[in-house]
Chains A and B, each alone.
Chain A
């Protein structure tokens, strides 16, 4: 088949997104069958399809939301309240401050335990950013400092005069300092990026919590 028409490509991609909650094989089956249907329908036309013919075909097939609705729905939590999900977001964001280090893991556990988010959502929430807001915070505290290692050379010189008198002399050496660490401006940039990423990830999860059809 020729390069799929952009409208068809968009349609199939949207359908694929809406079916993301299904097992991979089933999702592929449905999208694949619809793609085959489109191919057959266009082949029947016998000529290069005009734009409006493609639009009409897709309308007859139905918009992706309607088609996806026929597949098994996402198992949204039977309970009405989103208390657990809100707790998950809080612990993901600032859990590491509430319970040092472990608090964030509580958030992760709540995140993965909830049926409200898709696997993709959960991966985003876990990997962006590990530790939540604590990550940029600790970056700010420790990453900014450059460490210095100084060592002092020198030592004691023992001299013997010609008549045998022993004397000691301390000869001071140089103080050699090396500083290591990430340069300040770069560290600031990384910190800001981490902060933005952490906040964005929480906001994304919050939005997906309310509207499962919201795209990222």
Chain B
């Protein structure tokens, strides 16, 4: 597992990450409910999503405030109870909307990028 290196702020890559990270989080949670810690681990396993792990937690708090995710306290053997995250129906709808837009966007960008790649 590689070390996460935060991208320089303002770079196009970090901006793209910021915009899409919440949907990556929602996608993971739709697949399976989990603790924040496991979510962060899953994110960092994918190359290219290198944001500092800590930044996921304010994001999760915001998603919870916006009612896209909900949490439940779960007893844990290793200490105090922890939050268990799951997607709400509202979150599922938001994700669905994003996926449609993302596919269209991705395909469009690819059209131009492939052309440049050929040069």
Binds B, one of A25-33, A128-136, A155-163, A185-193: A25-33
* Residues of chain A from 36 to 88 with CB closer than 8 A to chain B in the complex: 36-37, 39-41, 43, 60-63, 66-72
B73 CB to nearest chain A CB (Å): 11
Chain A CB count within 10 A is highest, among B58, B60, B78, B82, for B58
* CB of B53 closer than 8 Å to a CB of A: yes
Q: Which residues from B are CB-within-8-Å of A68?
A: 58
- Assess whether B59 is in contact with A41, with CB atoms less than 8 Å apart: no
Q: Which of A41, A67, A68, A72 has the most CB of B within 10 A?
A: A67
For residue A44, which residue of chain B has the nearest CB?
B37
Most buried by A among B4, B35, B52: B52
Give the Cβ gap from B37 to chain A, nearest Cβ, in Å. Answer: 4
- B residues less than 8 Å from A34 (CB atoms): 54, 57
Q: Does A1 contact B (CB under 8 A)?
A: yes
Q: Which residue of B lies closest to A28 (CB)?
A: B61
Tell me how far the C-beta of B31 lies from the nearest C-beta in chain A, rounded to whole angstroms: 20
A37 touches B62 (CB 8 A): no
A-side contacts of B4, CB under 8 Å: 60, 62
Is B54 within 8 A of A40, CB to CB? no
The answer to whether A67 and B54 touch (CB under 8 A), given A29-B61, A30-B61, A36-B37, is yes
CA distance A69 to B52 in the complex (A): 12
Interface check B65, CB cutoff 8 A? yes
A67 to B37, CA, bound (A): 15
B residues 1-20 near A (Cβ < 8 Å) are 3-4, 6
Interface centre among A1, A34, A39, A40 (most CB of B within 10 A): A40
Chain B positions within 8 Å of A1 at CB level: 79
The distance in angstroms between the C-alpha atoms of A62 and B59, with both chains bound, is 14
Indicate which residue in A26, A66, A72 contacts B54 across the interface (CB closer than 8 Å): A66
B10 nearest CB across to chain A (Å): 12
What residue of chain A has the Cβ atom nearest to residue B36's Cβ? A33
Q: How far is the CA of A67 from the CA of B6 in the complex (A)?
A: 11
- Structural contact, B53 and A62, CB atoms closer than 8 A: yes
Judge if B119 is at the interface, Cβ distance under 8 Å.
Answer: no
Closest to A40 in B: B37
Q: How many angstroms between the C-alpha atoms of A30 and B83 in the bound complex?
A: 11
Contact status A60-B78, CB under 8 Å: no
B residues at A contact (CB < 8 Å): 3-4, 6, 35-37, 40, 51-55, 57-62, 64-65, 78-80, 82-83
> Would you mind naming 22 contact pairs between A and B with Cβ atoms under 8 Å apart?
A29-B61, A29-B64, A30-B57, A33-B60, A33-B83, A34-B57, A36-B37, A36-B82, A37-B40, A37-B54, A39-B79, A40-B78, A60-B52, A60-B53, A62-B4, A62-B52, A62-B54, A66-B52, A66-B54, A67-B55, A68-B58, A71-B61
Other A-B contacts than A33-B57, A37-B57, A62-B55, 4 sampled, CB-CB below 8 A, are A34-B57, A37-B37, A41-B37, A70-B59
- Which residues of A line the B interface, CB within 8 A? 1, 26, 29-30, 33-34, 36-37, 39-41, 43, 60-63, 66-72
Q: Which 4 A-B pairs have the closest CB atoms?
A: A62-B52, A67-B54, A61-B54, A71-B58
